[in-house]
Amino acid sequence: METLLGYFEAFLNAGNDLLWSYVLIFLLLGAGAIFTLVSRGVQVRAFGHMFHLVRNSRGGANGGITSFQALTTSLAARVGTGNMAGVAMALYIGGPGAIFWMWMTAILGMATSFVESTLAQTYKVSHHDKTFRGGPAYYIEKGLGQRWLGIIFAICLMIAFGLAFNGAQANTISGALNTAFGIDTWMVGVGLVAISAPVIFGGLRSVARTAEILVPVMALLYLAVALVVVVMHVDQLPAVFSAIFSQAFSAQNVAGGVAGYAVAEAIKNGIQRGLFSNEAGMGSAPNAAATATTEPNHPAAQGYVQMLGVFIDTLVICTATAAIILVSGMLEPGSELKGIELTQAALVASVGEWGAVFIAVAIFLFAFTSLIANYSYGEANLEYITGNRTGLMLFRLLVLGMIMAGAVADLDLIWNFANLSMGMMALINLIAILLLMPIAMKLLKDYESQRKAGKLPEFDRHQFPELKDKLDPEAWK
């Protein structure tokens, strides 16, 4: 058995290395560049319009899920422990220059997010509870006519987000609370199951309501603390920005002639951190985007809103973590501090011992909201496969079981399997949205032309003959 597990682990490691170190990095960045070029830089031209839509996104759902709730649900999944531990690891391996490449990845990823979220809205289907379902599995089937590929995507997502990543998030929470407060991991697991179960059994609407409350609160608290730290060290900001830009393109040597951060590591880790964090192109956030009743009533509206999600996740929250670490002076080549320990040490160095407790609480909030949002993605894709709610009770129990197991067990093998599953779903999704890009661009043009004419954009499916018989008439009357 140990030999078989060894072979399986070697297979997973090789597959992940191939996908994430070579194929997906170039494909994700290349797709983002193409979408940016073809859309004429929609993420720059419509930057102000994104905020305008979000300000007016909390109503008009008529009992369904609002655009704001869809945004906070996608942010709940995006904004997780990676925003603290992942950024710290990127800095540890790649140095300050990694932050520059993280920013570049997010800027390109905003255009990718617009395309996949607009497509998710376009091909969404109505649900019995006045909400909608949709995402890559749906636009792969309806847009490309390949249901079999949609099912493969849905299975990969259920494995990665619905089960494995939830175990990993629970593991992070239990570790942080055990370190900060000495709470036994099994007790953390029981507590997580107890508070997760009501949200999970409440379904997608319950997840959306919870995310709508928790995500803004946790994000604002974290940003407030980061701002305090930056103000305390404002004199160091010029040196920090200089290090970020200079080390993005040139290697650094440290005292004693020891090799510092290599440019290749800065590029690789910055890009990977950006991709893992904002999930643009992965095919996860479109599952949340599809659930919204948009305001205005046009698929492109949710595309704009979800672009803002990428901006908030990477260019705001990940940058806040980087600022906390870089101004603290705790980042040094060869240091044993890395990951979440580096973030905790950096905050403690600036604000005192309560910083470690704050990070533990932040980890709990970030990971918990990721956990419930990940579940919602799994639920939507299970319903896509079965066509109804068959197996939903079993899936919910499996998710809760995975939360408990993740809190008390070492899940390295499962984490690697999840990474491979997520890599496969990203590969499938990117190919699909590249093929469906003309539809997304036509919708963008239609939305912008109506705005230019002084109209409130309204989607008229009869203006898109290529979508005939591909749209749910109940979703787009």
What pTM does this model have?
0.87
Q: What is the pLDDT of residue 92?
A: 76
Q: Is the peptide bond before 96 cis (omega within 30 degrees of 0)?
A: no
Low-confidence ranges of the chain (pLDDT < 70): 1-2, 5, 7-8, 57-63, 81, 129, 204-205, 250-266, 268-269, 332-340, 410-415
Q: What is the pLDDT of residue 229?
A: 84
DSSP 135: S
CA distance 363 to 147: 38
296 three-state secondary structure: coil
CA distance 173 to 368: 8
Q: What is the pLDDT of residue 426?
A: 87
CA-CA-CA-CA torsion sign (146, 149, 153, 155): positive
Q: What is the pLDDT of residue 221?
A: 84
Q: What is the pLDDT of residue 445?
A: 95
- Beta-carbon neighbour count of residue 147 at 10 Å? 15
Q: What is the pLDDT of residue 60?
A: 59
Tokens of 423: 């890599």
Q: What is the pLDDT of residue 185?
A: 83
2 burial (CB, 10 Å; 0-12 / 13-18 / 19+) is exposed
Q: Which residues of 385-415 are buried (b: 16+ CB within 10 A; e: fewer)?
A: eeeeeeebeebbebbbebbbbbbbbebeebb
Helices 24-38 and 263-278 cross at an angle (nearest 10°) of: 70
Q: What is the pLDDT of residue 259?
A: 43
Q: Name the nearest CA neighbour of 274 among 42, 25, 64.
A: 25
Cβ neighbors of 354 (< 8 A, separation 6 or more) are none
CA R_g for the chain: 22
